[in-house]
Amino acid sequence: MSITLGFYDFFSYLLPGFGYLYAINDLLRVLGLKYVNLANFMQAGQEPAFGLVALALFAAYIVGHIFDPLSLKFFFHFIFRIRNPLGATTITLNTIKERYPKLGIKFVPKDWETLLIILRQRSYETAQSIDRFQADSIMLRNIAFGLLLMTVANVIAFFMTMTASLLLIALAELFACWMLASESFKFRVWFFTQIFEGSLIYGTSIEDVISYEKNRDSKSKGQKQTSTKIKL
C-alpha cells in the first residue's frame, strides 16, 4: 500500500469509522442494549492491550466502508438533491462552461469517471490534488452522518428521560452535521472542478481527451519525418 493510499483511507474511512462505532455504541446504550463502557478503557494508569487496539482499528476501517455508501445515497444525496436538484457534477460543469464560454466545452456530467481515469494515467500531481479533495469530501460526509446518528440517540434519550441538556446537545450535533455536510459538498464540487478543468488541457470533449495521446504521437512522427527529409 502506498503512502498516498494510506492517508486516503485514513481520512476517508478509518477516522470516520471511529465516529460510527461511537455513535452505534451510544445508540445501544440509550436503547438499553449491550454496549461497551468506554470509561472502563480510559481509567488512569490502564493501557489498552495491543490486540484490542488492533481490533478497534480493523473494526473502524470496516465500519467506515460499510457506512460510506449509506451516507452517500441515503443522506448526502437526499439532502443536497433538495437543495441542489441538478447535482454536483452538473452544477460544476455548468459553472465551468460559463467561465470559459469561448472554448465550446462539450463534456457531459457522466464523463467525469472516464476523465478521472485518464488524468490518473497522464498527470500524477493532478491526480493527487483531485484525490485530496475527494478524501476530504468523504471524510466530512461520513463524520456528518455519524453526527446525525448521535443526534438520533440523544433525541431518543431526551424523550426517555426528559432531560433538557440532551435536547440541546442533539440540536448542536444536528447543526454541526449540516455544517460538515455543506463543507463536504463544497469539496465534492472542487473535486469535479479539478477533473473537468484538468481535462481541458487535452481537449474540450471526451473524444478529444481520449484521442489526445494518439494525435500527439502522430504529430511527433510527422515532425520527425519532415526533419529527416530536410536533412536529406
Contact status, residue 11 vs residue 132, Cβ threshold 8 Å: no
> pTM of the entire structure?
0.78
Per-domain residue ranges of the chain: 3-219
Look at residue 232 and tell me whether its pLDDT is greater than 60: no
pLDDT for 229 equals 47
Q: What is the pLDDT of residues 4-52, one digit of tens each?
A: 446 677 778 888 888 899 889 888 888 888 878 776 666 645 566 666 7
Q: What angle do CA 162, 167, 169 make, to 5 degrees?
A: 135
Confirm if 117 and 110 have CB atoms less than 8 A apart: no
Is the per-residue pLDDT at 211 higher than 80? yes
Q: What is the pLDDT of residues 138-163, one digit of tens each?
A: 999 999 999 999 999 999 999 988 98
Closest CA to 192 of 84, 116, 81: 116
Residue showing cell 484521442:
211
Mean pLDDT of the chain: 82
